[in-house]
Amino acid sequence: MSDIFEKFEFSERTGKIKEGILKRLHSNRTREDTATGMPNDGKTPFEDVFEEYENEPYVVCEALAIVRSWLVSEPIFFDDDILVGFPRPRRDVEEHFHFGICIYNDDSERIKKLRDRMVPDDYRSIKNLGIKLFGGDRKAYDTITGAWWAGGYQGHTIPSYPKLLTMGVGGVLDQIEYYDSRTDASDTTKKDFYRACRIILEGFSEWIIMHADKAKSLAEEADSDEKREQLLAIEKNCRSISRDKPTTFLQAAQLMWFFSLWDWVDCIGRFDQYMFPFWTGSESDYDTLTALFMKFWEHGVHNMTISGVIPETGEDATNDITYHVLRVMRTLHETHPRMSVRVHEKTPHDLMKLVVLMWSEGMSDPTLASDFNVVPALMDYGVPERDARDYSLLGCQEIEIPGKSNFGCEDGSINLAKLLEFAMFNGVDPCENYKCSIDTGNLMDYKTFDDLWNAFVKQVEYLTPIYLTLCNRGQEIRIANYSKLVKSTMTEACIERGVQHDDGGTIYNFGVIETAGHGAVGDSLYALKTLCYDSNELTLKQVYDALLANFEGYEDVRQKLLSVPKYGNDDIGADEMAARVLRLFWGEIRKYRSRRGDVFTGACSLLEGGIGYGECTGALPDGRFRGEPLGNTIGPRTGADQSGLTPMLNSVARMPLELGVGGSTSNVLIPTTLMQNDEMREKIISVMMTFMKIGGQLAQITTATLEDMKDAQVHPERHQDLIVRIGGYSMKFIEFSTQSQNEFISRYGYGCDCAR
């Protein structure tokens, strides 16, 4: 391999592949949605199957429809392809792992007749249950949606690519046959599940053969020997892996990519680990790896994880593939695939140097993940050390054990600031002036800070089981819809147990709740304690009236509230209050089990959720105006940190992130101006490694400068490659809404000098 710090140069063939992709490359947002297939071709495979097989069990019909949707899609080849495989056309009806069969256009009478059969359960049942839980008070349920989002996306999980590559399609079919033959005929649920899994994999095998046949046909028409040889190589490899396990890196890459397509190019786990056994380091392997990475880039793979430790030994797992994918990503300077690097005590210094070098050139990837924090945290939740060491990031920086788990990946999200409002306004939402929760008193009623805290605790304890009941209803929807049928075939324990992915079929089945507002709640409580209880500088009535007035006419009160130290500035008092809030809520949800079987865990990776929740939240005692953002990560509320990078990281490291093991990422602002030479980059390495060691969990980087972002709002054409991070994913700055752009800019209100 060339010097890892040199700019990667594409070979002649991979360079041509890159140029072809650039001509058809979709926007960042489209790739983030993995909506990169061809336009709707008018075919109706799902409708056709459900009409033809009206007497078959639902799961069998779904499997047949999934397979047909691929088999009626013409294989697409491009010039100079090393690897083939392209998404299906986007049709009015398709399945997706987050829900099951999705209907995007139900105008036709045909679809209306089939809807109830194709979608056994839907989101309406969550609302109906919610209204019931609120005693039939529809207004209370509608109002409380400002406090939470229940039964959420629940999608991303990582299939067992090691299982696929070591067993092959035929080996997994044999496994299905083995367990099916030992299942009692009266257990129709399991028997139908096995039949559906068999249909999926037999169809997958047939689809691979379609590509072999297409390659053979194109080879017969090729206008050069070189082109003919390339196509015959594709044919040979496709025929080989249609049933048998791969034996070469090229075959492994092709099989891996084929299944990734059937898995909606979702998250691919510890890519450098399961691919390395096939690696020879030959020139052709490097070309194949480059071509595969460009497939990930073109079609929006959501997340891949590299480096970390070897599960069996704990030794460093970095290898040639680790470095090569980073070098390719550095050259592409793109947002996809989202990439995460695991760090630990023995992480090679050269790896960190390459990561920071990429940041210094304006990239937001890769994210850093801390083995120091995540491995023991998973073990505390009952995951054995070997599997805890094998964790991976997925989605927008959630955490999972690849191929063995279903952590829900956003079972829901909750706005803790709203729960504080209920404690201050006797269960009333002050924005809507409507009662949503129990009586605990108004702010003026609490004689001591403990009284106020206990009221907040009561709100949390009352609303948490209601909220988690709705989240579990969301899980039941996925069970009814067999939303992860394709994933079930390649997830350990599902076949052995004869149980689908969403119904507890995987080994680890934690629930995950994304958590917003902890910083604002902590800062608000700390301000009230400091000014109203400890020093008596303000009365509770003054604060109460100021909040209702959104501080209009109470600027003096607001300034005093703002003067109290805030979470994010290395102030132990403020930080401990924020940590206390998280321990309360994350400890409370740990008392309850998800419908999949294991307890709920905390997380904080909210995309743009902190902005939306902020719009629904009134003025708070931290000095925040009504409607201002609450923050999208585990870090401080936007604009609250005023002391620089290192103090902010110290504050985050004090949070109980061992309870937020669903994935709690931090926004880390390091402008490229702070990484312009070796000495400066070494300082950043030191700061980030220290953060990982003292308690940090995940760090997502934004390197754009304040000046660049402001200029991009005025002259977007000048900043086509300006990349930023928001609560879990990267995107080009100019593709965000003005509101989100302003939130980014407000983060830069204070310096990021790591020397402070």
Token duo for residue 540: 């509770």
pLDDT at 753: 44
The pTM for the full model equals 0.93
Please state the rounded mean pLDDT for residues 623-634. Answer: 91
pLDDT tens for 174-195 read 999 999 999 999 999 999 999 9
Give a yes or no: residue 686 inside a domain.
yes
**Burial group, residue 580, by CB count within 10 angstroms (0-12, 13-18, 19+):** middle
Mean pLDDT is lowest, of 136-145, 375-384, 536-545, 585-594, for 136-145
> Can you read off the two tokens belonging to residue 408?
């829900």
The answer to whether position 261 is within a domain reads: no
* 416 pLDDT higher than 90: yes
pLDDT above 60: residue 727: no
Mean pLDDT of 302-329: 97
State percent of the chain over pLDDT 70: 94
Q: What is the pLDDT of residues 490-506, one digit of tens each?
A: 999 999 999 999 999 99
The number of distinct structural domains making up the chain is 1
Question: CA-to-CA distance for 158 and 162, rounded, in angstroms?
Answer: 11
Residue ranges of E strands in 355-395? 367-370, 392-394
How far CA 135 is from CA of 80, 147, 150, 429, 578, in Å, comes to 63, 18, 18, 17, 33
**HEC assignment per residue over 688-733:** HHHHHHHCCCEEEEECCCHHHHHHHHHCHHHCCCCEEEECCEEEEH
**Count of H-run helices and E-run strands, the chain:** 30, 18
pLDDT at site 754: 41
* pLDDT for the residue 611: 84
Q: For residue 55, what are its two tokens?
A: 């007497």
Plot region of 550 (φ>0 → left; ψ -120 to 50 → alpha; else → beta) = left
Strands 267-270 and 303-307: parallel
Q: Please check the confidence at residue 738 and state whether its pLDDT lies above 90.
A: no
Query: Domain span at residue 656?
Result: 412-747
Average per-residue pLDDT in the chain? 93
In this structure, how many other beta carbons lie within 10 angstroms of the beta carbon of residue 185? 7
Task: Check residue 529 and report its DSSP letter.
Answer: I
> What is the pLDDT, as a whole number, of residue 413?
93
In this prediction, residue 750 carries a pLDDT of 45
pLDDT at residue 724 in the model: 67
42 lies in some domain: no
Inside any domain, residue 393? no
Instruction: Assign 745 a pLDDT band (cuts: 50, 70, 90).
Output: low
pLDDT tens readout for residues 65-113: 999 999 999 999 999 999 999 999 999 999 999 999 999 988 889 999 9
| CA–CA dist 570, 643 (Å, integer) | 8
**DSSP, res 145:** T
User: Does residue 364 register a pLDDT over 60?
Assistant: yes
DSSP structure class, residue 633: B
**What's the rounded Cα separation, in Å, for the pair 510 and 721?**
38
pLDDT of residue 290: 98
Q: What is the pLDDT of residue 751?
A: 42
- Look at residue 725 in the predicted model and tell me its pLDDT: 60
Residue 1's pLDDT band (cuts 50, 70, 90): low
Distance (Å, whole) CA 454 – CA 660? 23
Residue 92 lies in a domain: no
- Each residue of 655-711: pLDDT tens digit? 999 999 999 999 898 889 889 999 999 999 999 999 999 999 999 998 876 677 777
Q: How far apart are CA 620 and CA 441, in angstroms?
A: 17
Residue 457 is assigned to a structural domain of this protein: yes
Residue 733 resides in a domain: yes
pLDDT at res. 742: 72
The CATH code of the domain that includes 544 is 3.20.70.20
Spatial separation of the C-alpha atoms in residues 197 and 195, rounded to whole Å? 5
Domain annotation covers residue 69: no
Instruction: State mean pLDDT over 418-431.
Output: 97
Model confidence pLDDT, tens digit, residues 639-662:
888 888 899 999 999 999 999 999
631: left (phi over 0), alpha (psi -120 to 50) or beta: left
